[in-house]
């Protein structure tokens, strides 16, 4: 195409209306047409990053390859578009304002009054330019149009469209149409008001994605009514009722917006959607096998806290022609009976002492009963603690949980002391590891050198290697200089492996990560 065009996605009526899946699906359809796509999430939060957000409320903290701590939406984009995103792909008000204030303090504005317009809006526009690559750059504006904290972002994309040329921008507005049970009818007035709000800010959308839920697909008259009231042409209206799986959404986008996307991109090639058709079918397919995987977790009341883990498990199961049931096991209440009832156990990453003994118990049970086990980050540390206790180190524990010298089989990394409540200071992003030849880890990866993403400040204390080995666990992967433990496994078990990394972040719906694939294969043999 030669130059970058832009698709700018906003939302109305209420938050969490489906902007991410809509934008990701549009990107997936464009990719299926041979168009190169990049993506950016702009959030009006005053947080500098997502590292200190409460996972119980906001879901998982997704980490990019360069160590950016972002919200879970970037995970959706990576999985849908098979991209490896960076800090540039996540833009938050807090970071922009922090940098603006730093520049003002340094005298870079020459004594001028620093204002939201034009200084913050200019910073937003610069961030969009810096993140844009390829043929089309997707920009999602978080929150809802009309929210106070998001006004600068809406103004910024309005200005941006004028500067790069309105013809080079496609505005997509996602709205919600509720269904009233009492009258058994859809109500379009909230959507009409949301569109009026957007026009009031000087933006006329080209596409309106209409979200509905709880009932069969709404009648075409709903879309027609919104088109007439908004001035958006009928071919720019896409109806998006709830579907069995989010992987159906690209198919709906291709069906309803195909012509418009062809016009905008200049690429008339029909999208190759076979991969998405297969993904859409697999969620409700009949499988010859079923496995039960126990996820030993602290935040069992919010599955989004472990979204990448559950998506990686599902992808691995479906790739192995198996249905999967994820059993949520409370780390605070876990028992041997819970572990016995499942075919495999996963202990995901986490922080804090609450529930850690339940996670240690999970690792111990799997060691002693040859139960398939996958430990992630803290899941590696509790596996090492469990093995050390079995190997003779009474009361072995982590410094994070108060372990003293002589019992601290996991300790805080050099340079991390005093930073426990500070964001952006952990060992973050991609780091390489060297695997022991012929180890389970090397066999699973079919490699002896791998790179995975990390998010931790505690590390295995190698002074306890002998005790850990006596307890049934050996080191099977380290940092290239051998100073940091990256993988451990149990040689006597069929599948007991743990990594200090977060492999779930690199799993894809159509290409499951080897560690999850290995766990599912082992569970199917149980």
CA distance 137 to 125: 13
Is residue 173 part of the annotated active site? The answer reads no
**Can you state the percent helix, strand and coil of the chain, rounding each to 5?**
40, 25, 35
Neighbours of 434 (CB within 10 A): 17
Given the residues 76, 119, 502, 513, select the one marked as catalytic.
502
Look up 504 and say whether it is catalytic. Answer: yes
The answer to whether 127 touches 91, Cβ cutoff 8 Å, is yes
Cα-Cα-Cα-Cα dihedral sign, residues 196, 199, 204, 207: negative
Hey, which residues does 169 pair with through a beta bridge?
Answer: 6
Strand order in the sheet with 207-212: 90-92, 37-43, 136-141, 5-11, 169-176, 207-212, 237-241
> Which residue from 38, 49, 163 is spatially nearest to 96, judged by alpha carbons?
49
Residue 307 to residue 300: CA distance in whole angstroms: 12
Name the token pair of 200: 């009031």
Name the helix (H) or strand (E) containing 40: strand 37-43
What is the Cα–Cα distance from 244 to 273, expressed in whole angstroms? 18
Active-site annotation holder among 173, 377, 399, 459: 377
CA distance 416 to 426: 7
- Measure Cα distances from 237 to 84, 100, 199, 252, 275 in Å: 31, 39, 16, 12, 25
C-alpha closest to that of 395 among 345, 360, 355: 360
Tell me, letter by letter, the H, E, C secondary structure of 98-137.
HHHHHHHHCCCCCCCCCCHHHHHHHHHHHHHHHHCCCCEE
Does residue 171 contact residue 5 with C-beta atoms inside 8 Å?
no
Other CB atoms within 10 A of residue 307 CB: 18
Catalytic residues: 377, 502, 504
């Amino acid at each position: 195409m030669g130059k970058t065009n832009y698709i700018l996605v906003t939302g109305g009526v209420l938050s969490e209306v489906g902007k991410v899946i809509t934008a990701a699906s549009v990107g997936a359809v464009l990719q299926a047409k041979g168009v190169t796509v990049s993506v950016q999430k702009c959030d009006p939060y005053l947080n500098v990053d997502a590292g200190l957000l409460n996972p119980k409320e906001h879901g998982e903290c997704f980490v990019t390859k360069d160590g950016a701590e972002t919200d879970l939406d970037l995970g959706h984009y990576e999985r849908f578009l098979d991209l490896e995103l960076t800090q540039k792909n996540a833009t938050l008000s807090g970071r922009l304002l922090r940098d603006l204030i730093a520049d003002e303090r340094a005298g870079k504005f020459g004594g001028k009054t620093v204002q939201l317009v034009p200084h913050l809006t200019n910073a937003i526009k610069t961030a969009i330019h810096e993140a844009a690559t390829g043929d089309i750059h997707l920009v999602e504006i978080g929150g809802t149009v009309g929210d106070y904290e998001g006004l600068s972002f809406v103004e910024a994309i309005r200005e941006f469209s004028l500067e790069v040329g309105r013809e080079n921008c496609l505005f997509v507005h996602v709205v919600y149409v509720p269904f009233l049970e009492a009258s058994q009818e859809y109500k379009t007035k909230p959507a009409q008001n949301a569109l009026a709000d957007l026009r009031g800010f000087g933006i006329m959308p080209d596409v309106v994605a209409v979200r509905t839920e709880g009932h069969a697909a709404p009648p075409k008259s709903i879309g027609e009514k919104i088109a007439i009231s908004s001035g958006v042409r009928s071919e720019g209206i896409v109806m998006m009722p709830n579907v069995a799986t989010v992987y159906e959404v690209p198919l709906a986008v291709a069906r309803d917006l195909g012509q418009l996307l062809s016009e905008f991109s200049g690429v008339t090639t029909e999208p190759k959607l076979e991969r998405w058709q297969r993904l859409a079918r697999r969620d409700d397919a009949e499988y010859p096998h079923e496995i039960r995987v126990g996820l030993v977790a602290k935040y069992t009341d919010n599955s989004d806290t472990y979204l990448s883990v559950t998506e990686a498990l599902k992808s691995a199961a479906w790739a192995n022609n198996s249905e999967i049931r994820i059993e949520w096991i409370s780390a605070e209440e876990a028992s041997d009976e819970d572990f016995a009832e499942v075919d495999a156990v996963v202990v995901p990453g986490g922080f804090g002492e609450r529930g850690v003994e339940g996670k240690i118990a999970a690792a111990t049970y799997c060691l002693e009963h040859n139960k398939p086990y996958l430990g992630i980050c803290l899941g590696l540390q509790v596996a090492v603690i469990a093995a050390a206790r079995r190997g003779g180190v009474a009361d072995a524990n982590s410094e994070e949980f108060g372990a003293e010298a002589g019992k601290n089989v996991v300790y805080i990394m050099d340079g991390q002391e005093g930073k426990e409540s500070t964001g952006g200071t952990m060992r973050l992003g991609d780091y390489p590891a060297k695997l022991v030849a012929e180890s389970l880890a090397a066999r699973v990866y079919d490699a002896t050198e791998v790179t995975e993403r990390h998010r931790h400040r505690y590390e295995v204390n190698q002074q306890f290697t002998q005790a850990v080995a006596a307890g049934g666990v050996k080191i099977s992967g380290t940092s290239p200089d051998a100073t940091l433990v990256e993988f451990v496994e149990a040689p006597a078990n069929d599948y007991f492996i743990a990594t200090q990394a977060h492999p779930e972040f690199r799993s894809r719906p159509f290409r499951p990560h080897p560690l999850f694939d290995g766990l599912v294969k082992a569970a199917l043999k149980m």
